[in-house]
Amino acid sequence: MSTGLLETRRLVARYGSVEVLHGIDLSISPGEIVVLLGPNGAGKTTLLRAISRVVATRGAITLAGVSIGGWSGARTARAGIGHVPEGRGTFPDLTVEENLRLGGLARPKGRRSTTREDLAQVYATFPVLADMRRRAAGLLSGGQQQMLAIGRALMARPQLLLIDEPSLGLAPMVTQQLFEVLAGIRGEWSTSLLLAEQNARLSLRIADRAVVLAGGRVTAAGPTADFRDGDVIRRAYLGEAAGDPVEDEK
């Protein structure tokens, strides 16, 4: 039996009759940070949705050894997996703290910490949110909203946190600060992270392993040290025959 936190085997996902993931094998260890890289349309978002059970799948998915595939596993998945979707999805008319409290409602029964303790921990992770706790979420900057979306997911004390394109629409400096915080989250919150991210340079800096998707298949995977060379990224994204240089930043 595997010791991984998350395991997928031959995972297939489709939208209607169109199959977009064609048999993904992925494993994530407790406390590990894994980044999903790949060009637009590769299937990164769909893989996160498949793992959090919001798109239909075939194949095996286990979380801490418990099957979360099929309908019966969806509840287990929701209890153990936090999902920060692309676009963040915070409630703009609610305050920062109200948004965070809503995240806490998803916590599994038998939790050890109180809501007050969890709020304090979110504010320690993202001090700017503490200063804005009574402000409507819709008035926050893009970076602050991303922090709020991540904080809200953390309130459910997930074993695995899925974050889709955290850098989307953020200035480089804000993205850098956000990634520094993300690097610390696994220790502070005892969670693993799976990021889908176009910013290869920054995400490779904080992740332990990278998995590259193209056309709904894994085309490369390994420790991030193997991917820091721009040529490896280029081959992984475009195939051996690629001629034009690709920016590291892509």
Ligand X SMILES: Nc1ncnc2c1ncn2[C@@H]1O[C@H](COP(=O)(O)OP(=O)(O)OP(=O)(O)O)[C@@H](O)[C@H]1O
User: According to CB under 6 A, which residues from 218 to 247 bind ligand X?
Assistant: none
Distance CA 10, CA 26 (A): 9
Shorter beta-carbon distance to ligand X: residue 168 or 232: 168
The amino acid occupying position 170 is L
User: According to CB under 6 A, which residues from 172 to 201 bind ligand X?
Assistant: 196
Q: Which two tokens stand for residue 210?
A: 């990278």
Q: What is the CA radius of gyration of the chain?
A: 18
User: According to CB under 6 A, which residues from 5 to 24 bind ligand X?
Assistant: 15, 18, 20
User: According to CB under 6 A, which residues from 30 to 49 bind ligand X?
Assistant: 38, 40-46
Burial class of 117 by CB neighbour count within 10 A (0 to 12, 13 to 18, 19+): exposed
User: According to CB under 6 A, which residues from 46 to 105 bind ligand X?
Assistant: 46
In whole angstroms, the minimum distance from the beta carbon of 43 to ligand X comes to 4
In whole angstroms, the minimum distance from the beta carbon of 215 to ligand X comes to 9
Q: Give Cα separations from 94 to 91, 132, 137, 144, 184 (angstroms).
A: 6, 12, 6, 14, 27
Residues 207, 195 contacting (CB under 8 angstroms):
yes
Q: Does 149 bind ligand X (CB under 6 A)?
A: no
In whole angstroms, the minimum distance from the beta carbon of 85 to ligand X comes to 11
In whole angstroms, the minimum distance from the beta carbon of 216 to ligand X comes to 7
Shorter beta-carbon distance to ligand X: residue 85 or 108: 85
Q: Which residues contact 22 (CB under 8 A, 6 or more apart)?
A: 12, 215, 216, 217
Shorter beta-carbon distance to ligand X: residue 156 or 220: 220
Q: Give Cα separations from 17 to 20, 216, 217, 226, 242 (angstroms).
A: 10, 15, 18, 36, 31
Shorter beta-carbon distance to ligand X: residue 39 or 108: 39
In whole angstroms, the minimum distance from the beta carbon of 97 to ligand X comes to 30
**Residue whose structure tokens are 């400096």:** 173
Shorter beta-carbon distance to ligand X: residue 28 or 155: 28
Given its phi and psi angles, is residue 101 left (phi above 0), alpha (psi -120 to 50 degrees) or beta? Answer: alpha
Shorter beta-carbon distance to ligand X: residue 35 or 100: 35
In whole angstroms, the minimum distance from the beta carbon of 190 to ligand X comes to 27
The residue ranges that bind ligand X (CB under 6 A) are 15, 18, 20, 38, 40-46, 196
